[in-house]
């Protein structure tokens, strides 16, 4: 083997030039998977790996000439080898492709959480429609312009007054496991069903006396405060914010609940931003889920 070939094999950084492309590819793959699985944890980790190996790859091509490296080529020799040009071009093209894939995904995954979405308030009718201390199943259209596909149900209980302000417990009927509709574990007085035409559409009321609520799909069970008591649901039933305007009860945004301590007007609610179905509100695993856009 010639002296020139021995010198080339001894040049520092040649091992990194072999490993760096693999590191960049691995980092980009982790980044793309992280955009779906965990934009806050896994995606930044993959991006950092890709950038670190990319910089190492780029610096590897600009290493200083070692003492044993042969003198610069003669005038009739290549000053910039074609293989190095192809290497740099491939790296640049890979970066462009990665960005063209990653940026739209990041936009769709992250921007809605910061820009927000349209929020609707629902008029459930006069507060007299909700007897104190009793549950009523209220069904309504979340978006009357869209129609029946937006029909929702909520469990509403009038807790009486706290000071001079009325208190209500208003829970979504959707199970927090996969979103199936739950049912009261007790009688539904369908013969007392009635409707109320409000400013945002028709609302139906059915009184009930539940000992809790159950999901017929996978067996999750919840008590009368919405706490999970059995089954695969990861958290308590979601709740609605509410307000009272001119004697009418208005629903606001949904929010998620880790657990509820106490009952009725004295309950302490451990509230969180709205989570997706199957997503825990507390614990380390709650950090491994994507951002949830507001609804």
* 11 domain-assigned: yes
Q: Which residue has the higher pLDDT, 159 or 43?
A: 159
Encode pLDDT of 192-231 as tens digits: 999 999 988 899 999 999 999 999 999 999 999 999 999 9
Residue 132 has pLDDT above 60, yes or no: yes
Which of 115, 131, 159 terminates a domain? The answer is 115
**Same domain as 269, residue 131:** yes
Longest pairwise C-alpha distance within the chain: 100
> Nearest Cα to 295, choosing from 120, 99, 129, 159?
120
Does residue 164 share a domain with residue 269? yes
Average pLDDT taken over every residue of the chain:
82
Same domain, 90 and 157: no
Question: Taking a C-beta distance cutoff of 8 angstroms, is the pair 159, 168 a contact?
Answer: yes
Answer whether residue 294 is part of any domain.
Answer: no
Asked whether residue 153 falls in the same domain as residue 281, the answer is yes
Q: Do 181 and 79 reside in the same domain of the chain?
A: no
Is residue 101, in this structure, part of any structural domain at all? yes
H helices of the chain, in order, are 3-10, 14-37, 42-60, 82-115
Q: Based on C-alpha coordinates, what's the Rg of the chain?
A: 30
Range of the domain at 173: 122-288
Residues 82 and 220 in one domain: no
Q: Are residue 85 and residue 133 in the same domain, yes or no?
A: no
Same domain, 105 and 190: no
Q: Which residue has the higher pLDDT, 181 or 6?
A: 181
In terms of domains, do 215 and 179 share one?
A: yes
Residue 273 lies in a domain: yes
Q: Quick check: 156 and 169 in contact, CB under 8 A?
A: yes
Q: Which residue from 165, 50, 56 is spatially nearest to 99, judged by alpha carbons?
A: 50
pLDDT at 10: 46
Do 36 and 144 lie in one domain? The reply is: no
Please, which residues have CB within 8 angstroms of residue 171's CB and are 6 or more apart in sequence? Answer: 154, 155, 213, 226, 237, 238, 239, 240
pLDDT at 130 over 60: yes
Residues of the chain with pLDDT > 90, as a percent, come to 45
Domain count, the chain: 2
Confidence of residue 4 (pLDDT cuts 50, 70, 90): very low
Q: Which helix (H) or strand (E) segment is 270 a member of?
A: strand 268-272
Asked whether the predicted pLDDT for residue 5 surpasses 80, the reply is no
pLDDT bin (cut points 50, 70, 90) of residue 143 is: confident
DSSP bridge pairs for 269:
260
Per-residue model confidence (pLDDT) at position 267: 92
Is 293 among the domain residues? Answer: no
What pLDDT, on a 0 to 100 scale, did the predictor assign at position 3? 47
Q: What is the CATH number of the domain that holds 168?
A: 2.102.10.10
C-beta separation of 226 from 236 below 8 A: yes
- Within this chain, do residues 172 and 203 fall inside the same structural domain, yes or no? yes
Residue 144 located in a structural domain = yes
pTM across the whole model: 0.64
Tell me: do 109 and 147 sit in the same domain. Answer: no
CA distances to 3, 4, 146, 254 from 68, rounded to whole Å, are 9, 8, 76, 70
Write out pLDDT tens, residues 65-119: 555 555 555 555 556 677 777 777 787 777 777 777 777 766 666 665 555 555 6
Last residue of a domain, one of 100, 115, 130: 115
How far apart (Å, rounded) are the C-alpha atoms in residues 69 and 63? 11
Query: Among 115, 148, 166, where does a domain finish?
Result: 115
Q: Which of 211, 38, 59, 60 is nearest to 135 (CA)?
A: 211
């Amino acid at each position: 083997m010639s002296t020139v070939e021995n010198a080339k094999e001894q040049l520092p950084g040649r091992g990194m030039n072999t490993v760096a492309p693999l590191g960049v590819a691995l980092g980009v793959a982790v980044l793309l998977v992280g955009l779906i699985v965990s934009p806050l944890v896994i995606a930044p980790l993959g991006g950092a790996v890709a950038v670190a190996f990319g910089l190492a790859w780029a610096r590897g091509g600009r290493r200083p000439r070692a003492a044993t490296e042969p003198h610069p080529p003669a005038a009739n020799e290549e000053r910039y080898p074609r293989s190095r040009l192809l290497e740099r071009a491939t790296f640049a093209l890979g970066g462009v492709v990665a960005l063209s894939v990653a940026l739209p995904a990041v936009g769709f995954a992250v921007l809605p959480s910061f820009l927000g979405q349209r929020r609707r308030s629902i008029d459930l009718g006069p507060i007299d429609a909700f007897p104190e201390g009793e549950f009523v199943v209220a069904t309504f259209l979340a978006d009357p312009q869209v129609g029946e596909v937006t029909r929702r149900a909520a469990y509403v209980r009038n807790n009486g007054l706290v000071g001079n302000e009325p208190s209500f417990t208003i829970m979504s009927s959707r199970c927090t496991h996969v979103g199936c509709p739950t049912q009261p574990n007790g009688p539904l007085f369908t013969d007392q069903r009635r409707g109320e035409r409000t400013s945002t559409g028709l609302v139906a009321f059915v009184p009930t006396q539940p000992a809790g609520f159950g999901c017929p799909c996978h067996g999750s069970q919840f008590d009368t405060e919405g706490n999970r008591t059995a089954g695969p649901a990861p958290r308590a039933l979601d709740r609605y914010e509410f307000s009272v305007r001119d004697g009418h009860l208005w629903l606001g945004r949904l929010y998620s609940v880790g657990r509820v301590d106490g009952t009725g007007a004295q309950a302490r609610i451990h509230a969180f931003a709205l989570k997706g179905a199957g997503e825990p509100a507390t614990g380390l695993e709650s950090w491994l889920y994507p951002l949830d856009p507001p609804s």
